[in-house]
Structure formats: C-alpha cells, structure tokens
C-alpha cells in the first residue's frame, strides 16, 4: 500500500478556502485516492475519491496532478463545523482491500 504524508495540523478562518495536500510518491497504477473527515467521538466519513485530474462534489474538490504523486483536498469557504481531522488514503479500488489511515491533518477553523 502506498504510504501517505500529510501536514499534522492546519489553521484557517471562517470563509476561507482550505487546501490540504497529501504526498504519495509510491502510488501504484491501480490505486485510487480517497479522503475522509473525522469529527471528535465519531468515525471517519467518506468525503471524496478520485483517480486523476479533478473531482468535485457538494462538499469538496480533489485535485490530482498528472504524475499522481500528490493530491490536494480543497474545502471552499470553511465554517467552524469543518474543524476535524482529514485523512488521505491511497489503495486498490476493490472490496476487501486493507486500508490503514495515517495520522491525518487536524484542521482548526477559527471565527
């Protein structure tokens, strides 16, 4: 499984756009990139997944460069409720795969 590296923490203010970058230099050809969000005392929640270029949904955008060795989760106009830990995962796109979540990025949104 490809190892991922993310910043340990980030601070932002309400209304700002937040970009969290994840490095995955040894990503394999069949690996997808998935991001999860975890609030205190809750399990992680799937946010977005992509393979290459750009993916956008109602929550976030995911930017993946051509070499796929990194990816950036973009949260538009964050609010206080976006304060959470964000995990980047890289792994095979099939049921039963083993995914170990790294330490994630702790995002603190301030008023």
98 scored as a contact of another protein (CB under 8 A): yes
Q: How far apart are CA 87 and CA 108, in angstroms?
A: 14
Shortest spacing between CB 15 and another protein, in angstroms: 27
Between the two ends of the chain, the Cα-to-Cα distance in Å is 38
Which of 29, 67, 81, 95 touches another protein by CB under 8 A? 95
Q: Dig out the tokens for 7 from the structure.
A: 């910043």
Shortest spacing between CB 80 and another protein, in angstroms: 20
36 scored as a contact of another protein (CB under 8 A): yes
Q: Cα 15–18–23 angle (5° rounding)?
A: 175
**Chain contacts with another protein (rule: CB under 8 A):** 32, 34, 36, 38, 41-46, 49, 85, 87, 93-104
């Amino acid at each position: 499984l490809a190892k991922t590296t993310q910043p340990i923490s980030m601070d932002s203010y309400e209304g700002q756009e937040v970009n969290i970058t994840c490095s995955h230099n040894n990503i394999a050809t069949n690996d997808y990139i998935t991001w999860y969000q975890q609030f205190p005392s809750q399990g992680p929640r799937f946010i977005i997944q992509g393979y290459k270029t750009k993916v956008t949904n109602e929550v976030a955008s995911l930017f993946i460069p051509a070499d796929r060795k990194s990816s950036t989760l973009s949260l538009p106009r964050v609010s206080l409720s976006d304060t959470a830990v964000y995990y980047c995962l890289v792994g095979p796109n099939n049921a039963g795969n083993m995914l170990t979540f790294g330490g994630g990025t702790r995002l603190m949104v301030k008023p």
